[in-house]
Structure 1
Amino acid sequence: MLWHREYTRESSHLRVSERPENKQRWIIDEEATAVVRRIFRMVNDGKGVYQIADILSEEKVLCPSAYLAAKGVGNRRNSKFEDPYRWWGTTVSYILARVEYMGHTVNFKT
Protein backbone atom coordinates (compact mmCIF):
# COMPACT_ATOMS: atom_id res chain seq x y z
CA MET A 1 0.00 0.00 0.00
CA LEU A 2 1.07 3.54 -0.55
CA TRP A 3 1.06 5.53 2.64
CA HIS A 4 1.56 9.14 3.37
CA ARG A 5 1.84 10.98 6.65
CA GLU A 6 -1.22 12.86 7.79
CA TYR A 7 0.26 16.37 7.70
CA THR A 8 -0.14 18.70 4.77
CA ARG A 9 2.60 18.15 2.22
CA GLU A 10 2.13 20.57 -0.60
CA SER A 11 4.41 18.90 -3.15
CA SER A 12 2.86 15.48 -2.69
CA HIS A 13 0.49 13.86 -5.13
CA LEU A 14 -0.95 11.86 -2.27
CA ARG A 15 -2.98 14.53 -0.57
CA VAL A 16 -3.30 14.27 3.16
CA SER A 17 -5.97 15.17 5.65
CA GLU A 18 -5.38 17.82 8.23
CA ARG A 19 -6.11 16.27 11.59
CA PRO A 20 -4.16 18.15 14.22
CA GLU A 21 -5.00 15.61 16.92
CA ASN A 22 -2.79 12.93 15.34
CA LYS A 23 -0.01 14.15 13.05
CA GLN A 24 1.86 10.85 13.17
CA ARG A 25 -0.86 8.69 11.64
CA TRP A 26 -0.43 7.54 8.04
CA ILE A 27 -3.42 7.55 5.72
CA ILE A 28 -4.17 6.78 2.08
CA ASP A 29 -5.73 9.05 -0.53
CA GLU A 30 -7.30 6.31 -2.69
CA GLU A 31 -7.78 8.47 -5.77
CA ALA A 32 -4.16 9.63 -5.87
CA THR A 33 -2.86 6.21 -4.85
CA ALA A 34 -4.48 4.65 -7.92
CA VAL A 35 -2.55 7.05 -10.16
CA VAL A 36 0.76 6.43 -8.38
CA ARG A 37 0.29 2.66 -8.54
CA ARG A 38 -0.51 2.92 -12.22
CA ILE A 39 2.67 4.91 -12.85
CA PHE A 40 4.74 2.18 -11.17
CA ARG A 41 2.93 -0.49 -13.21
CA MET A 42 3.69 1.33 -16.44
CA VAL A 43 7.37 1.50 -15.49
CA ASN A 44 7.32 -2.25 -14.82
CA ASP A 45 5.78 -2.70 -18.28
CA GLY A 46 8.79 -0.93 -19.79
CA LYS A 47 7.41 2.56 -20.39
CA GLY A 48 9.62 5.61 -19.91
CA VAL A 49 8.74 8.67 -17.87
CA TYR A 50 7.89 10.77 -20.93
CA GLN A 51 5.68 8.03 -22.38
CA ILE A 52 3.87 7.78 -19.04
CA ALA A 53 3.44 11.57 -18.91
CA ASP A 54 1.95 11.55 -22.41
CA ILE A 55 -0.45 8.71 -21.54
CA LEU A 56 -1.68 10.46 -18.38
CA SER A 57 -2.10 13.74 -20.28
CA GLU A 58 -4.06 12.07 -23.08
CA GLU A 59 -6.33 10.33 -20.57
CA LYS A 60 -7.03 13.63 -18.81
CA VAL A 61 -5.61 12.63 -15.42
CA LEU A 62 -5.12 15.75 -13.29
CA CYS A 63 -1.46 16.64 -12.77
CA PRO A 64 -0.36 16.72 -9.10
CA SER A 65 -0.57 20.52 -8.72
CA ALA A 66 -4.04 20.68 -10.23
CA TYR A 67 -5.16 17.68 -8.17
CA LEU A 68 -4.03 19.34 -4.94
CA ALA A 69 -5.63 22.65 -5.98
CA ALA A 70 -8.92 20.85 -6.66
CA LYS A 71 -8.75 19.51 -3.10
CA GLY A 72 -8.08 23.01 -1.74
CA VAL A 73 -4.46 22.43 -0.72
CA GLY A 74 -1.04 22.92 -2.23
CA ASN A 75 0.97 25.99 -3.05
CA ARG A 76 -0.99 26.56 -6.28
CA ARG A 77 -4.49 26.18 -4.84
CA ASN A 78 -5.46 29.68 -6.00
CA SER A 79 -3.91 29.34 -9.46
CA LYS A 80 -5.66 28.97 -12.76
CA PHE A 81 -4.20 26.12 -14.81
CA GLU A 82 -3.93 26.54 -18.55
CA ASP A 83 -3.96 22.75 -18.89
CA PRO A 84 -4.60 20.93 -15.59
CA TYR A 85 -4.05 17.60 -17.35
CA ARG A 86 -0.53 18.33 -18.61
CA TRP A 87 1.98 15.89 -17.17
CA TRP A 88 5.73 16.24 -17.54
CA GLY A 89 8.36 13.52 -17.50
CA THR A 90 10.08 15.27 -14.62
CA THR A 91 6.88 15.04 -12.57
CA VAL A 92 6.68 11.30 -13.19
CA SER A 93 10.39 10.97 -12.28
CA TYR A 94 9.78 12.84 -9.04
CA ILE A 95 6.93 10.50 -8.10
CA LEU A 96 9.05 7.44 -8.88
CA ALA A 97 11.90 8.74 -6.72
CA ARG A 98 9.82 9.26 -3.56
CA VAL A 99 10.73 6.70 -0.94
CA GLU A 100 7.33 7.14 0.69
CA TYR A 101 5.68 5.75 -2.45
CA MET A 102 7.97 2.72 -2.51
CA GLY A 103 6.92 1.63 0.96
CA HIS A 104 10.30 2.22 2.58
CA THR A 105 10.53 3.34 6.15
CA VAL A 106 12.13 6.75 6.38
CA ASN A 107 13.70 7.23 9.78
CA PHE A 108 14.03 10.62 11.46
CA LYS A 109 11.73 12.33 8.96
CA THR A 110 8.65 14.15 10.15
Structure 2
Amino acid sequence: MPALLLSAAFAAGCAQEPPEVQVAGGDAELGRALIERYGCVACHTVPGIPSYGANVGPPLVHLAERGYLAGVLPNTPGDMVRWLRDPPAVDPRTAMPNLGLSPAEAVHIAAYLYARH
Protein backbone atom coordinates (compact mmCIF):
# COMPACT_ATOMS: atom_id res chain seq x y z
CA MET A 1 0.00 0.00 0.00
CA PRO A 2 2.75 2.60 0.79
CA ALA A 3 4.36 1.94 -2.62
CA LEU A 4 1.02 2.61 -4.31
CA LEU A 5 0.62 5.91 -2.45
CA LEU A 6 4.18 6.90 -3.35
CA SER A 7 3.52 6.05 -7.01
CA ALA A 8 0.33 8.11 -7.01
CA ALA A 9 2.09 11.05 -5.38
CA PHE A 10 4.96 10.83 -7.88
CA ALA A 11 2.56 10.66 -10.83
CA ALA A 12 0.62 13.66 -9.53
CA GLY A 13 3.86 15.62 -9.14
CA CYS A 14 4.93 14.79 -12.69
CA ALA A 15 1.62 16.01 -14.08
CA GLN A 16 2.11 19.51 -12.68
CA GLU A 17 3.28 22.26 -14.96
CA PRO A 18 6.65 23.76 -14.14
CA PRO A 19 6.42 27.14 -12.42
CA GLU A 20 6.17 30.12 -14.73
CA VAL A 21 9.45 31.99 -15.10
CA GLN A 22 9.12 35.64 -14.12
CA VAL A 23 11.23 38.28 -15.85
CA ALA A 24 11.74 41.27 -13.56
CA GLY A 25 10.41 44.42 -15.18
CA GLY A 26 9.03 42.54 -18.17
CA ASP A 27 5.61 43.10 -19.70
CA ALA A 28 4.60 40.05 -21.73
CA GLU A 29 1.96 41.91 -23.78
CA LEU A 30 4.48 44.57 -24.73
CA GLY A 31 6.86 41.73 -25.57
CA ARG A 32 4.28 40.25 -27.92
CA ALA A 33 3.94 43.58 -29.72
CA LEU A 34 7.74 43.83 -30.03
CA ILE A 35 7.98 40.29 -31.41
CA GLU A 36 5.46 41.27 -34.06
CA ARG A 37 7.21 44.60 -34.78
CA TYR A 38 10.66 43.02 -35.18
CA GLY A 39 9.28 40.19 -37.33
CA CYS A 40 10.58 37.33 -35.18
CA VAL A 41 8.03 34.99 -36.80
CA ALA A 42 9.90 35.32 -40.09
CA CYS A 43 12.39 32.84 -38.63
CA HIS A 44 10.74 31.34 -35.52
CA THR A 45 7.45 29.76 -34.60
CA VAL A 46 6.35 31.78 -31.58
CA PRO A 47 3.45 30.53 -29.45
CA GLY A 48 0.38 32.70 -29.68
CA ILE A 49 1.58 34.62 -32.74
CA PRO A 50 0.65 33.52 -36.28
CA SER A 51 3.58 32.44 -38.40
CA TYR A 52 3.75 31.11 -41.90
CA GLY A 53 6.03 28.11 -41.92
CA ALA A 54 8.95 29.85 -40.24
CA ASN A 55 11.75 27.32 -39.95
CA VAL A 56 15.04 29.21 -40.07
CA GLY A 57 15.41 29.34 -36.29
CA PRO A 58 14.09 26.88 -33.73
CA PRO A 59 10.47 27.01 -32.58
CA LEU A 60 10.18 29.00 -29.37
CA VAL A 61 7.46 26.78 -27.92
CA HIS A 62 7.90 25.66 -24.26
CA LEU A 63 11.00 27.81 -23.99
CA ALA A 64 10.85 27.98 -20.19
CA GLU A 65 11.28 24.20 -20.01
CA ARG A 66 14.57 24.11 -21.91
CA GLY A 67 17.90 23.75 -20.17
CA TYR A 68 19.85 25.95 -22.57
CA LEU A 69 19.27 28.90 -24.85
CA ALA A 70 20.73 28.64 -28.35
CA GLY A 71 22.62 25.59 -27.13
CA VAL A 72 25.19 27.76 -25.35
CA LEU A 73 23.65 29.65 -22.41
CA PRO A 74 21.89 28.36 -19.30
CA ASN A 75 18.18 29.11 -19.60
CA THR A 76 17.80 32.05 -17.22
CA PRO A 77 16.00 35.37 -17.72
CA GLY A 78 19.30 37.24 -17.56
CA ASP A 79 20.90 35.05 -20.20
CA MET A 80 17.77 35.30 -22.37
CA VAL A 81 18.04 39.09 -22.30
CA ARG A 82 21.76 38.84 -23.06
CA TRP A 83 21.04 36.58 -26.04
CA LEU A 84 18.25 38.79 -27.38
CA ARG A 85 20.38 41.93 -27.13
CA ASP A 86 23.30 40.60 -29.20
CA PRO A 87 23.20 36.96 -30.35
CA PRO A 88 26.45 37.11 -32.40
CA ALA A 89 28.36 38.34 -29.33
CA VAL A 90 27.30 35.15 -27.52
CA ASP A 91 27.75 32.79 -30.46
CA PRO A 92 29.54 34.22 -33.51
CA ARG A 93 28.30 31.30 -35.64
CA THR A 94 24.60 32.00 -35.04
CA ALA A 95 22.32 32.94 -37.91
CA MET A 96 20.34 35.21 -35.58
CA PRO A 97 21.19 38.84 -36.21
CA ASN A 98 21.68 41.61 -33.71
CA LEU A 99 18.37 43.46 -34.05
CA GLY A 100 19.53 46.40 -31.95
CA LEU A 101 17.07 45.72 -29.15
CA SER A 102 17.22 48.05 -26.19
CA PRO A 103 17.60 46.47 -22.74
CA ALA A 104 13.92 47.16 -22.01
CA GLU A 105 12.77 45.64 -25.31
CA ALA A 106 14.78 42.49 -24.62
CA VAL A 107 13.25 42.20 -21.13
CA HIS A 108 9.70 42.52 -22.51
CA ILE A 109 10.35 39.95 -25.25
CA ALA A 110 11.85 37.56 -22.70
CA ALA A 111 8.76 38.01 -20.51
CA TYR A 112 6.55 36.98 -23.43
CA LEU A 113 8.71 33.99 -24.37
CA TYR A 114 8.72 32.69 -20.80
CA ALA A 115 4.96 33.20 -20.30
CA ARG A 116 2.59 30.28 -20.78
CA HIS A 117 0.46 30.53 -23.89
Same fold (TM over 0.5): no
Q: Which has the higher contact order (CA 8 A, sep 6+)?
A: 2
TM range, normalised to the smaller chain? 0.3 to 0.5
Bigger fraction of residues in helix: 2
Question: What is the TM-score when the length of structure 1 is the normalising length?
Answer: 0.32
In our comparison, the structure showing a higher alpha carbon Rg is 2
